[in-house]
Structure 1
């Protein structure tokens, strides 16, 4: 077999083959097919009514969401599921679904139906292209027909506006502020600046509710605790339930820590707030309200797992690292006649995340 050389024979091109440009001829656009709504005014009006009806159904679903919020109790059940949450999910899903279907129908049947070609262009558009784009956007807005279809436009705006209520109405659950509940609180601990803690209330272990004596804690121990009022109301001796329980737990949760008494640096006026080296602080981080209990016993540092705010429990829970803006509120402790830890009073400052009224 001989190797190819510069003198190798090359077959001439077939003269019968078509030119290359003919192999990839532009197929062009197919003949435009008009939609029924493009040629039949009755079909167009019928499509408008369909789209407006879909937007109206969305509005009805939103109204059902609001009605459910005020009429269905959070404790009610349906087929083993929470009735209120089920109704919330179905009504909100319907509100968003009907808006989506309505917009799709609007685009398919009523918006301008034209085939266009867009050629590739450099990444940086020229001024002419930018002007053309703005003109195309204006043309598209005009061709959508929103200006000349008031039924579609108004029903869409009404449905979309009502959907916003699904985010606004649940804010009612934030409850009254401290100014509204000072004279007649709906349950213990109502208001931004109050908790369920009160003078003489025992500190009990979380979950089980057993009271705590100073001798129950060893040096270095950290105990998650709650106010006894969650388990035994001062008024009738019954445990709290429902909203009252959740509010009480959310603001009353604390941590007890025992250290050597001489390691404690008491704040001004807090010299008698500890008992035998036991100090008590709110468990709610002052940054965004995460529950914290990650304790480093040798340094007495308490770490929030959410954003790493770190508090020195030996020094009035001052912030030594992280985004928290103020120390953890401290609960003043004492011992009752039976030797159990009790609160001297409620917290002297609001617990939880900082808000604008605080100095």
Structure 2
């Protein structure tokens, strides 16, 4: 017959019918008591404690320095010239400043918790939770004890340096928003003209290989740039020009096209070309659905009907995508008839 003793660390005996013997089974509760407390060096040596405190607030002030450096780097390494060297330096030095700011806060907080905060073990008995006045009083007492054990209210250098580091850590992010502010009185003028001009061949993005009308099959969608753009270097403004000139080329049955009278010669044998720059906030519109002839902007789900002048059929975009007038040259290559006849990109930039 099986026998067992109390559950506080003693063995239990259980009956095993197949052997007819009683065997000892270890108690799963055994060994859960807390190990003896080991004092840290900072608890035993005041000089070590003071050194740990100095290390912590030094890390927090180092975080402040990293945040300030990120702001300085934003100003002394501008990217307005558009060169890749400037962009690399801007990203590198701002990133180093932000990384130093956040890393120093993290290391300082961890060192604080391990070396300075209270290292006593506590056992919290479970009890029924009820909404009563004594519960609120108990919560206040817990915060008071936590403040005393952490030294948050007593160690002013750590507390103040932490506040300074946290406050400074958001400054680089706020500064970077400066790059989103309008740089010109009328940004729409910058988008009114692109690299497209009469005779510019439509070429594959990014290879720059010209496209023949015979290459464009029904239902296909080609990502297109001006042939001349492929020859530009980054230092010559490749990215800026490409951002304005990107086009999506689509072919569909001629009878499915609904064209305004003044735009009937803007397409060629069912082939149409529209700007890829969404008229909401400028995201690239590149998701084409062949059966419905709809273009989807992945950023905010604006949808445009390619078969009907790229009119907006859903979402926050305020106007159709600008259409690029096209034709073919003597060699059968698709070419632009002119530049876009309206500014590309977000509609709100047109409000002056």
Shorter-chain TM-score above 0.5: yes
Change (3 A) 1:75 1:114: same
Find 1:162's aligned residue among 139, 164, 168.
168
User: Is 1:292 paired with 2:290?
Assistant: no
Find 1:265's aligned residue among 249, 252, 258.
258
Give the whole-Å Cα distance in 2 for the aligned partners of 1:98 and 1:213. Answer: 58
The C-alpha deviation readout for 1:130-182, integer Å capped at 9, x for no partner, is: 54124312432354333333321222222223322443444455475342668
Q: TM-score with structure 1 length normalisation?
A: 0.68
Note the C-alpha offset of 1:129: 3.2
The number of residues matched between the two structures is 324
SS in 2 for 1:60: helix
Find 1:325's aligned residue among 285, 301, 317.
317
Give the whole-Å Cα distance in 1 for the aligned partners of 2:304 and 2:173. Answer: 35
Note the C-alpha offset of 1:254: 0.8
Find 1:245's aligned residue among 225, 238, 241.
238
Find 2:53's aligned residue among 40, 44, 48.
48
Cα RMSD (Å) = 4.5
Give the whole-Å Cα distance in 1 for the aligned partners of 2:276 and 2:192. Answer: 15
Point out where structure 1 has 5 or more consecutive residues left out of the alignment: 1-9, 183-188, 233-238
Give the whole-Å Cα distance in 1 for the aligned partners of 2:271 and 2:9. Answer: 92
User: Is 1:314 paired with 2:307?
Assistant: yes
Q: TM-score with structure 2 length normalisation?
A: 0.69
Q: Aligned residue for 2:335?
A: 341
Q: Would you say the 8 A contact 1:36–1:43 is kept in 2?
A: yes
Q: Would you say the 8 A contact 1:61–1:92 is kept in 2?
A: yes
Change (3 A) 1:347 1:117: farther
Change (3 A) 1:30 1:46: same
Note the C-alpha offset of 1:315: 0.8
Q: Would you say the 8 A contact 1:275–1:333 is kept in 2?
A: no
User: Is 1:226 paired with 2:225?
Assistant: yes
Give the whole-Å Cα distance in 2 for the aligned partners of 1:223 and 1:71. Answer: 37
Instruction: Identify the range of structure 1 (259-268 vs 311-320) with the bigger mean alpha-carbon deviation.
Output: 259-268
Point out where structure 2 has 5 or more consecutive residues left out of the alignment: 11-28
Note the C-alpha offset of 1:200: 2.9
Give the whole-Å Cα distance in 1 for the aligned partners of 2:339 and 2:230. Answer: 18
Note the C-alpha offset of 1:292: 0.8
Give the whole-Å Cα distance in 1 for the aligned partners of 2:153 and 2:257. Answer: 72
Note the C-alpha offset of 1:307: 7.1
Change (3 A) 1:112 1:242: same
Q: Aligned residue for 2:125?
A: 119
Note the C-alpha offset of 1:320: 4.0
